[in-house]
Amino acid sequence: MSVTSDIIIGPDGRPDAASSGRVAVAVGGIIDAHHHFWDLANNHYPWLQEQLITAHFGDYAAIRRSYLAPDLRADLGQVNLAASVHIEAHWRGGTAPEGETAWLTGHARDHGLPSVMMGAADLAAPDLDQVLAAHQAFPGFRGIRVMAMGRGAPEGAALYRDPQFQRGMAAMVAQDLCVDLQAPPITHVAVADLAAQFPKARIAITHCGLPLDRSAEGLERWRDGMSRLAEAPNVVVKLSGLAMTDWHWTCDSLAPLVQHLRTAFGPRRLMFGSNFPVDGLFSDYPTLLAGYVAALGPLPEADLRAIFHDTAKGFYRIDTPQPPKSKTP
């Protein structure tokens, strides 16, 4: 019996609480490849503490509070978290981003999370080498998350084609650092070209390639772009962020997108990320995890282990104990 065969879908189209608990046990120790922490009492995050931004995740007043390792652990419920990857959270509006890595290192020492960190840097900036060196003073640092949209010119596809940005990519490759790319459909071709230009780059596409346009034409554009990206063997994709692009998600609404990615990339190039606390605006953690499992459809245990543990472990070079085999409910 597969993990998915025992999931009961409730009247809201999502796994019921009992099923979510069973899935959490069955999947075993996971690696959350995309989450955030912030300490509003001691650090500065303009988008959380000052003027609200207009974002595709809507009203985020509920997460304008400190969110730290104990909060994530409380949200996990029955989910067994083996390790986690912290993604930069717009610390100080991009000023002195190595400070976030330093703070997270101390937080991990005190609380055991995060396991590794993806920091911030402007890959097109002339001081990139100095910023990367400052980040690399901390052993948990693994690379840079790039936000392509809302940054001013160049942005989107133009950013990924910019010669200065590409010099930054060359530096990332030379230092064997990971790159998480924000890549909505308007950037997919440019990112595919970037991956081909830098075949040794270690590229992760965040939030399933941001399928924000759910019209038939928008989804077709997204599918074509993700299929194009799948041709690049050095690109992996995070099963993350779908809740913030589909606020009233159901297993049925997730399934066509998740299954397209499963077919295009294969389980060993997919990795789960909760995007908490942002996706916590739209789901509790165990239900979100079970929703992705249900949307994936029946898979061998080894494929589930890849998506929920092994891909992230390898991509981010995370040291974790050998996980126990999952228990099929």
Total count of domains within the chain: 1
Give the integer Cα–Cα distance in Å for 211 and 244: 10
Low-confidence residues of the chain, pLDDT below 50?
1, 323-324, 326-329
Residue 102 lies in a domain: yes
- Helix or strand run (H / E) with residue 178: strand 178-181
pLDDT of residue 1: 40
User: Pairing state of beta strands 235-239 and 270-272?
Assistant: parallel
Three-state SS sequence of 44-109: CCHHHHCCCCCCCCCCCHHHCCCECHHHHHHHHCCCCEEEEEEECCCHHHHCCCHHHHHHHHHHHH
pLDDT of residue 322: 54
Sheet holding 202-205, edge to edge: 30-35, 81-87, 116-119, 141-146, 178-181, 202-205, 235-239, 270-272
Residue 322 lies in a domain: no
Give the integer Cα–Cα distance in Å for 205 and 181: 5
Write out pLDDT tens, residues 115-134. 999 999 999 999 999 999 99
Residue 326 lies in a domain: no
pTM, to two decimals? 0.95
Residue 4 lies in a domain: no
Range of the domain at 203: 24-315
Residue 328 lies in a domain: no
Query: What is the CATH classification number for the domain harbouring 79?
Result: 3.20.20.140
pLDDT of residue 326: 44
Q: Are 48 and 78 in contact (CB under 8 A)?
A: no
pLDDT of residue 321: 63
**DSSP 3-state helix, strand, coil percentages of the chain (rounded to 5)?**
50, 15, 40
Write out pLDDT tens, residues 149-173. 988 889 999 999 999 999 999 999 9
Tell me which DSSP letter residue 176 carries. Answer: T
Residue 280 lies in a domain: yes
